[in-house]
Amino acid sequence: MKLVTAFSALFSATGVVATITTSGYNQIKLYPRCGQENVNPDAQLSITFPSPPAIGPNGTIRVYDAADKKLIDTLNLSIPFSPSPSGNGSTKANYSDTTTYQTNIIGGMDFYFYPIIVRENTATIYLHNNQLTYGRTYYVEVDPEVLQLADGTFGGFTSSNPWTFTTKSHGPSADATRVVVAADGSADFNTIQGAIDWAPAQTPKRITIFIKNGNYEELVYFQYKSNLVLRGQNRSRTIVGYPNNSAFNPPNRQGPSRRPAFSFHGVSDVQLSDFTISNYYKGQAEALLIEGVRVVIDHMTLNGSGDALTTYGSIFITDSELTGDVDTVLGYGSAYWLRSKIVSLGVLSWTRTVQGIHGNVFVDCTLISTEGNATFARLPDNSGGVMPNWPYTEVVLINAKTDGISPVGWGPVQGAPFDTSHLHLWEYNTMDLNGHLVDMSQRLNVSRQLSLPKDAAILRKYQTPSYVLGGWTPVVIS
């Protein structure tokens, strides 16, 4: 009996198929199951093998509409994933590079992406976003070269034994105000991006996207949306992440930075609550990049590398925790931080406040450097003094608990000499983790220690979110 014949004959309703390998029969498990109905069109496909598969180097995955045999999507493994497929190459733009890389349009922007990610024994296949629709039956063909097993042969899925499934007849109703995402396919969407893409751009009604516990390995991006709440079921068990950085997605294309795991641009009134976002790569690798007005980050866990959180706009961050390596907050925006914790290997922030707005204000927060000698914020020489520094930088700490901070507290402030009189590197009542005041005697000369009663008016203002956030009084939606 030919291998492929045996293969197709062994499909079962449970989705477990047996495949013949050189070492005998092995079980593989498919999602969606072969013949499964009511599949969400945003589903990622997956194949679980008895042992970890290797990807490529070539072959294609093809998805056809069963009704008219039209080719709907192709993933071609011969196309390189990125100029730096492991995220360890150059982080600079290379405008002369005209190579075609694996590209997915996510939330309207072109990202390099992994068409397949293998975690343990499971290969997850990321079709190009928004190619499948409701109410269709699809069949998937997978060339045998696409996934290779150490201990045998994967026959693939061919036209004579395709992998088929049928999508739901329709999505959530257009006037729904709450939709649910579940990684296991049991709710309205399988992916966070699928739910966000569904949400109308400018909606007068608030839309809540509820994310059930699960692991969501996807690159999330959206722009020009408003009135959106993304809420996880349980902060530590709803995990969204992706391996991405400025080498994997370098700045060689127009438009915003593509290196974060999760980012949004031009948004308003967006709230993220109760989930974890991780960037699994080192380097310049944000967990989250925020560019928007009236953005609330509430009970979130953010875990990135360099520039783990980049901000633009007006942001209220409460009861959250951010972990990163260096310049953990790259802060262009006005951010009011309440009862939050930053754990950073090196310097906690590179704050780049422009004239006329406020910067990073931390009230009742905990700021830790694990290297043991970092500063709260630095303004290093950016490009040999050629680029202007950030003379209006504002970082204000009120009642901060700290650990691992160098006695100088701030800096270095470098670059071409500039007027430092507008810098607000201010702190009041900075303590160690036990609540004892820290020694301020060696603080950087351009920083300032606030004290009472002299600075009572300043302290009052900086404890008022609307003062820091351009008149916006943030409300956390529960």
Residues that bind ligand NAG (CB under 6 A): 57-58, 60, 76, 78-79, 86-90, 94, 96-97, 99, 145, 234, 236-237, 245, 247, 278, 280-283, 303, 323, 371, 373, 420, 445-446
Q: How far is CA 201 from the centre of its chain?
A: 20
CA-nearest of 340, 335, 278 to 308 is 278
Q: Which residue has the tokens 């079921």?
A: 233
124 vs 227, which CB is nearer to ligand NAG? 124
Paired tokens of 398: 């009120």
Q: String of b and e for 80-97 (b: at least 16 CB within 10 Å)?
A: ebbbbeebebebeeeeee
Say which DSSP state 354 is in. Answer: P
Supply the minimum distance, in Å, between the C-beta of residue 253 and ligand NAG.
14
Helix (H, G, I), strand (E, B) or coil at 396: strand
Minimum distance of ligand NAG from residue 35's CB (angstroms): 26
Using the minimum distance from each CB to ligand NAG, give the nearer residue, 285 or 468.
Answer: 285
CA 61 to CA 77: how far, in whole Å? Answer: 8
Q: Are 457 and 425 in contact (CB under 8 A)?
A: no
Closest distance to ligand NAG from the beta carbon of 382 (Å)? 18
Least CB distance from residue 235 to ligand NAG, whole Å?
7
By beta-carbon proximity to ligand NAG, the closer residue of 247 and 293 is 247
Measured from the CB atom, is 76 or 133 closer to ligand NAG?
Answer: 76
* Amino acid at site 227: N
CB of 338 to ligand NAG, least distance (A): 20
Structure tokens at 85: 């497929």
In the complex, the smallest distance separating the C-beta of residue 371 from ligand NAG, rounded to whole angstroms, is 5
Whichever of 234 and 449 has its CB closer to ligand NAG, that residue is: 234
Contact 315, 338 (CB under 8 A): no
Residue 254: CB minimum distance to ligand NAG, A: 17
CB of 74 to ligand NAG, least distance (A): 6
Decide: residue 99, CB within 10 A, 0-12 exposed, 13-18 middle, 19+ buried.
exposed
Nearer to ligand NAG, 122 or 223 (CB): 122
Shortest distance, position 460 Cβ to ligand NAG, whole Å = 26
**Residue indicated by tokens 């109905």:** 37
**Which residue number places its CB atom closest to ligand NAG?**
282
Angle subtended at Cα 441 by Cα 436 and Cα 443, rounded to the nearest 5 degrees: 100
- Distance, in Å, from the CA atom of 293 to the CA atom of 212, rounded to the nearest integer, reads 27
Cβ count near 369 (within 10 Å): 23
Q: Please give the helix or strand (H or E) that residue 466 lies within, else none.
A: helix 465-468
CB of 103 to ligand NAG, least distance (A): 12
Other CB atoms within 10 Å distance of the CB of residue 175: 8
Q: Can you tell me whether residue 151 is helix, strand or coil?
A: coil
Give the residue with the Cβ less far from ligand NAG, 198 or 280: 280
Minimum CB separation of residue 124 from ligand NAG in Å reads: 17
CB nearer to ligand NAG: pick between 15 and 87: 87
Give Dmax over CA atoms of the chain in angstroms.
Answer: 90
Using the minimum distance from each CB to ligand NAG, give the nearer residue, 89 or 251.
89
3-state secondary structure of 421: helix
CA 132, CA 125: separation in Å to the nearest integer? Answer: 14
The amino acid at residue 389 is N
Is residue 331 within 8 A of residue 360, CB to CB? The reply is yes
Q: Which is nearer to ligand NAG, 73 or 197 (CB)?
A: 73
For ligand NAG, the closer of residues 208 and 245 by Cβ is 245
DSSP state for residue 420 in the 8-state scheme = G
Which residues, in sequence order, are CB contacts of 12 under 8 Å at separation 6+? none
Please check whether residue 81 is in contact with residue 115, taking contact to mean a CB–CB distance below 8 angstroms: yes
User: Residue 52 or residue 57: which is nearer to ligand NAG going by CB?
Assistant: 57
d(CA 376, CA 443) in angstroms, rounded, equals: 11
Cβ at position 473, least distance to ligand NAG in Å: 27
